[in-house]
A and B are shown apart, each in its own frame.
Chain A
Amino acid sequence: GIQVEQSPPDLILQEGANSTLRCNFSDSVNNLQWFHQNPWGQLINLFYIPSGTKQNGRLSATTVATERYSLLYISSSQTTDSGVYFCAVKITGSRLTFGEGTQLTVNP
C-alpha cells in the first residue's frame, strides 16, 4: 500500500514563531488532507489539497503532486495551534492512509 511519512515527528515552538510540516507519499494520490487533532481528540479538517496551494488565515498548504510531497505552513503560531497534525492521502478506490503525525507544542 501507499506509504506516508511526516516530518518532523515532534516540534516545539515559542508563540509567534513560524513552522513548516512536511508530508511525503509514495504514490500518486487523488486526495490529500491535512488535519489538526486538538488535545480533546477532535480531528479538524484544515485543507483538502491534492495539488496546488491554499491559504486559510495563518495556515497555508502546498502540494506538489508530481514530486509526491505536501507542506503545511503555520505562521505566527499560537498556543491553540498545539496538538497533532496529520497528513492523510488516498488513491482512487482505496482507503484514506494517515501518516504518523507531527506533535506540535507551542509555548507561551
Chain B
Amino acid sequence: DTEVTQTPKHLVMGMTNKKSLKCEQHMGHRAMYWYKQKAKKPPELMFVYSYEKLSINESVPSRFSPECPNSSLLNLHLHALQPEDSALYLCASSQVLRGPDTQYFGPGTRLTVL
C-alpha cells in the first residue's frame, strides 16, 4: 500500500478561526513532509519531520504549527491565517529523510481563507 491520506479535502475558514489538517500513512515511513502549493507553481516545502522530530522548518510563519503525534500521523494546525495562505496543502512521506528514496504524496487539502 503506497497511500498517503489527507483530511479534509476542502476547508474554508475565516481569519480568526482555528483549524487542523490531518495526514496519515501506513507504509512505515519515518519522514513526513508538509508542502504548500499555489496555483500554477510547484510545491514548496514547509516542514519536515524525521522520526517524529521536527527536522526542517522553512521559515514558515508561526500561524502554521505542525505536529507529529506518532510515526503514522502528521497534523498542521492553522490559526489566524491570512487570505494569501489560501493554497493546496500537500502531505508526503518517504522511508527516511536523507535517503534517495521515493516521496509519496497525499491528495491534498484545498484551503480557502476568507
Chain A residues in the interface with B (C-beta under 8 A): 30-31, 33, 35, 40-43, 45, 48, 50, 86, 88, 90, 92-93, 95-96, 98-101, 103
Complex-state Cα separation, A101 to B43, whole angstroms: 10
Question: Bound state CA distance, A30 and B37, in angstroms?
Answer: 24
Q: A31-B100, A42-B108, A45-B104 are contacts. A96–B90 as well, Cβ < 8 Å?
A: no
Given A31-B100, A40-B107, A88-B42, 17 further pairs, Cβ under 8 A:
A31-B101, A33-B103, A35-B105, A41-B37, A41-B90, A43-B43, A43-B90, A43-B108, A48-B101, A48-B102, A86-B42, A92-B100, A95-B48, A96-B103, A99-B42, A100-B42, A101-B42
- Chain B positions within 8 Å of A, measured between CB atoms, are 2, 37, 40-43, 45, 48, 56, 88, 90, 98, 100-105, 107-108, 110
Bound Cα distance from A48 to B42, whole angstroms: 18
B108 engages A98 (CB within 8 Å): no
- Once the chains bind, are B42 and A42 in contact (CB under 8 Å)? no
In the complex, how many angstroms separate the beta carbon of A35 from the nearest chain B beta carbon?
7
In the complex, what residues of A have CB within 8 A of residue B48's CB? 95
Does A33 contact B102, Cβ atoms closer than 8 Å?
yes
Chain B, interface SS category: loop
Contacts of B42 in A (CB 8 A): 86, 88, 98-101
**Whole-angstrom distance between the Cβ of A2 and the nearest chain B Cβ:** 13
Give the distance in Å from the alpha carbon of A99 to the alpha carbon of B43 in the complex: 9
Which residue on chain B has the smallest CB distance to residue A50?
B100
Give the nearest-CB partner of A96 in chain B.
B103
Chain A residues closer than 8 Å to B103, beta-carbon distance? 33, 88, 96
| A41 lies within 8 A of B110 (CB) | yes
Report whether A30 and B100 are in contact in the complex, using a CB–CB cutoff of 8 Å. yes
B56's nearest neighbour on chain A, judged by CB, is A95
A42 contacts which chain B residues (CB < 8 A)?
105, 107-108
Chain B residues with CB under 8 Å of A48's CB are 101-102
Task: Please indicate the chain A residues that have their CB under 8 angstroms from the CB of B88 in the complex.
Answer: 41
What CA separation (Å) do A24 and B107 show in the bound complex? 27
Nearest-CB residue, chain B, relative to A42: B107
